[in-house]
């Protein structure tokens, strides 16, 4: 669907001419029935949501229990085991970036959530710190994973300039009003050879082409922007970074993303967040069904990624010299 709508200027280039790519509402958590469009700038092709939610509205679109806090029962222990298993991909990618940099200092994870990723890095002997918008997330990171975390904005984060050997942002940029400000802050916080690691859903994936607004990577209305790899390269260049490595497959995100696109009603986090009433047996059956769907999604998402059209993109960047 293509058409002209009255919109606020593109945050990247200031143009107001757009094409409407698709429209939809909060399909996953059902926090609102309001309809939004995903629009593409006709000049620079950056994709964004319209109308853009105000900060007050956006707060309401992040439901309580958005953050995973294991309660110690068998199901939660199994879930934590699974989360650790699929996070190794991220840990390996970041460790390789840090080794390549040769820098010392802190690894700062922006959008640290419950802190499991940082805990895994800490277990490898690294100094780590987390930052998150959510006080609930930052407190879970400390309480459950003993990871020092602060609640706030990267632009005013309490870390000295040049103190970080690496800054990671997994699924952060697409939630921001001003990703440029975050990347500029990261540039200032990084040591000279420090590395920036970013992961976002990839709007140039086959799933977006095939499924439109039903692709879980657009996540209306929580994602304000949808990036292709080329959009990221432009953004990084503007903020003084150069990419050195890309990865289009993530064991944690790509198969589960396809499963959630196809069956959002089975997504364990969506069920928890929406407070769906289930018997223990019902919960187990749905979890198993979802797990089978994730496993079946591994081959097609690997093929998608092998063609550089994976549903996420992770990249390592360094400061441009």
By CB under 5 A, name the binding residues for Zn ion. 10, 12-13, 15, 41, 43-44, 46
Using the minimum distance from each CB to Zn ion, give the nearer residue, 229 or 260.
229
Using the minimum distance from each CB to Zn ion, give the nearer residue, 39 or 121.
39
Using the minimum distance from each CB to Zn ion, give the nearer residue, 15 or 157.
15
Using the minimum distance from each CB to Zn ion, give the nearer residue, 18 or 106.
18
Q: 10 Å Cβ neighbour count for 208? A: 25
Tokens of 89: 């991909």
Sheet bearing 128-132, strands edge to edge: 149-151, 128-132, 106-110, 164-170, 190-201, 312-319, 241-247
Residue written as token pair 């196809």: 262
Q: Report yes or no: 186 and 167 within 8 Å, Cβ to Cβ.
A: yes
At closest approach, how far in Å is the CB of 17 from Zn ion?
Answer: 9
Using the minimum distance from each CB to Zn ion, give the nearer residue, 34 or 238.
238
- Three-class DSSP category at 110: strand
At closest approach, how far in Å is the CB of 10 from Zn ion?
Answer: 3
At closest approach, how far in Å is the CB of 74 from Zn ion?
Answer: 50
At closest approach, how far in Å is the CB of 3 from Zn ion?
Answer: 17
Q: H-helix or E-strand containing 41?
A: strand 36-41
At closest approach, how far in Å is the CB of 226 from Zn ion?
Answer: 13
- Contacts of residue 99, Cβ cutoff 8 Å, sequence gap at least 6: none
Using the minimum distance from each CB to Zn ion, give the nearer residue, 9 or 265.
9
At closest approach, how far in Å is the CB of 13 from Zn ion?
Answer: 3
- Three-class DSSP category at 263: coil
Cα distance between residue 65 and residue 236, in whole Å: 33
Tokens of 281: 């047996």
Sheet bearing 18-24, strands edge to edge: 18-24, 36-41, 47-50, 225-226
């Amino acid at each position: 669907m293509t058409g002209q709508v009255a919109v606020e200027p593109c945050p990247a280039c200031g143009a107001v001419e757009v094409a409407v790519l698709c429209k939809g509402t909060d399909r996953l958590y059902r926090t609102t029935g309001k309809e939004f469009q995903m629009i593409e700038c006709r000049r620079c092709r950056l994709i964004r949501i319209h109308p853009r939610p105000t900060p007050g509205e956006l707060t309401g679109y992040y439901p309580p229990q958005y953050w995973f806090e294991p309660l110690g029962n068998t199901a939660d222990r199994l879930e934590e085991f699974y989360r650790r298993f699929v996070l190794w991909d991220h840990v390996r990618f970041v460790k390789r970036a840090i080794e390549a940099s040769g820098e010392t200092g802190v690894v700062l994870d922006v959008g640290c959530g419950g802190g499991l990723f940082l805990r895994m890095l800490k277990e490898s002997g690294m100094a780590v710190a987390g930052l998150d918008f959510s006080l609930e997330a930052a407190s879970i990171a400390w309480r459950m994973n003993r990871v020092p975390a602060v609640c706030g904005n990267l632009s005013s984060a309490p870390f000295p300039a040049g103190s970080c050997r690496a800054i990671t942002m997994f699924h952060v940029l697409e939630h921001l009003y001003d990703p440029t400000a975050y990347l500029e802050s990261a540039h200032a916080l990084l040591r000279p050879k420090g590395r920036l690691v970013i992961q976002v859903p990839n709007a140039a994936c086959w799933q977006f082409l095939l499924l439109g607004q039903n692709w879980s990577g657009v996540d209306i209305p929580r994602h304000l922007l949808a990036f292709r790899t080329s959009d990221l390269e432009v953004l990084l260049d503007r903020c003084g970074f150069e990419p050195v490595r890309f990865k289009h497959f993530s064991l944690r995100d790509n198969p589960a993303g396809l499963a959630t696109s196809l069956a959002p009603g089975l997504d364990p986090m969506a069920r928890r967040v929406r407070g769906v009433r289930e018997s223990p047996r019902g919960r187990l059956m749905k979890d198993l069904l979802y797990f089978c769907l994730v496993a079946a999604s591994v081959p097609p998402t690997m093929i998608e990624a092998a063609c550089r059209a994976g549903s996420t993109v992770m990249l390592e960047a360094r400061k441009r010299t």
